[in-house]
Amino acid sequence: MADVRPFKGLLFNPDVVGPMEHVICPPYDVIDFQTQEQLYKRNRYNVVRLEEGKIELSDDDDKNRYTRSAEHLRLWIAEAALVRDEIPSYYLVRQGFRVGNGFKHRLGLVAAVKLEEYEQGSVIPHEYTRNGPRADRLALMEKCHANISHIMLLYRDSQNTILQMLASATTETLVFDFKDADDQTFEVWRIADTSQIKFIRDMLADKPLYIADGHHRYETSLTYRDSYTPSSSSDDHACNFVLSYLVEFNDPGLIVSPYHRVIKNSDIESQKKLNQIIHQCFTETPLQWKIGSPTESLLLEIEDKRTYPRSFCMVSSVNHTASILTLKEEYMPDTQGPIEQFEAWILEEVILKPAFEDGIDQYVEWMHNPSEALERLARNSHQIAFLLSPPSMDLLEEIINSGKKLPRKSTFFYPKLPTGLVINLLESIV
């Protein structure tokens, strides 16, 4: 049974920090060095200082990026740059963004969700995780005792009962209303009415929650909960909850994209093994596209020539070719469940694991932007790009309900909600 609660959110005070668009930042896992530098310069209160602080050469166990995040958090609260709400609330967020020539909106609810082991079935994952990101997020939590950023959860509301109630809440007074540098719009409302809170909590109680984004942060929160010893061991203590952004499965603004795989630094032996696997297990359909041509023309040609399912595109900077790879029938898995139809799973199980074994992290980079992947090939810094198609939400739900997990970075839910709209202090939320 899902336990989705209001909480006393910690929010930026625009009177102190200035415009909200200057203090938000992307989630930690999409912040590169250049973006980090830009965000540091944008505003002294930019939340990147909490979410993904700089590493310094003098860092040690006593002074490092995590201790500096905690210092900033304490200072900003003392300066009233961050102010905690006095009443537990839900926070309703409507995000607007451009897709092609159109404009879409997504409506989501920010809440504190009770942490449960996956086996209990109230919170359901769909991807495997890595030790490195979990250790990084745990170190941050242990110093700040806060959820700086949220996880993203999906739920089913087939009768639109919850959505109708949330839509009615948009008539309330706005907490934030702004546009960022990427032309995305954000409207945030506070839901503090006790009757509305009860309705939302009761309606979500019997619904499974699917992790769309934030598997590492969820598992980190479980570890933090199990290791943290609060003054009160109450079940209501905030260490038992995780900051979450809940979106209905069929929201028109819910867009899922693939993570493409790009091969780098592969030695001659690894390349030979990879090529052998491809020639043996896949039918190759050559494409006309050449490296340096527009990405859009390649995507159109892929869509025109690929076959479904179990096919994806490979582009090689070694022999300057692009082709569609389709798994041969004799190499299809013995089981024909939903996960065996998922491109990222086929790529990982049939090509990457056999070719690189335990060295996947050494040779593979994950990119959600196909133009960026192809640019790496054009610069000859990478050898091969595997371009995957957008996954089907129906297929993804089938896989989740089957209890199986996809390889890490199989899905990219666009656009990501920025960090900094609401922070959750891991103290009592009641």
Cα–Cα distance between 292 and 8 in angstroms, integer?
51
Give the 3-state secondary structure of residue 246. Answer: strand
How is the chain split into domains, by residue range?
Answer: 4-255+414-425, 259-389
Give the 3-state secondary structure of residue 24. Answer: coil
Question: How confident is the model at residue 130, as a pLDDT?
Answer: 85
- Residues of the chain short of pLDDT 50, as ranges, are 428-430
Question: How confident is the model at residue 173, as a pLDDT?
Answer: 79
Cα–Cα distance between 377 and 354 in angstroms, integer?
23
Question: How confident is the model at residue 429, as a pLDDT?
Answer: 43
- Provide the 8-state DSSP code for 173: P
Question: How confident is the model at residue 86, as a pLDDT?
Answer: 95
Cα–Cα distance between 308 and 295 in angstroms, integer?
21
Cα–Cα distance between 299 and 234 in angstroms, integer?
54
From the options 2.60.120, 3.30.1760, 2.40.160, 1.10.3210, give the CATH code of 259-389.
3.30.1760
pLDDT digits (tens, 9 = 90+) for 34-64: 999 999 999 999 999 999 999 999 999 999 9
Question: How confident is the model at residue 430, as a pLDDT?
Answer: 36
Question: How confident is the model at residue 230, as a pLDDT?
Answer: 57
241-248/151-155 β-pairing: parallel
Nearest to 387 by CA among 407, 406, 367: 367
Nearest to 396 by CA among 304, 258, 203: 258
Q: Which residues contact 3 (CB under 8 A, 6 or more apart)?
A: 113, 114, 122, 201, 205
Q: What is the pTM of this model?
A: 0.90
Cα–Cα distance between 133 and 139 in angstroms, integer?
10
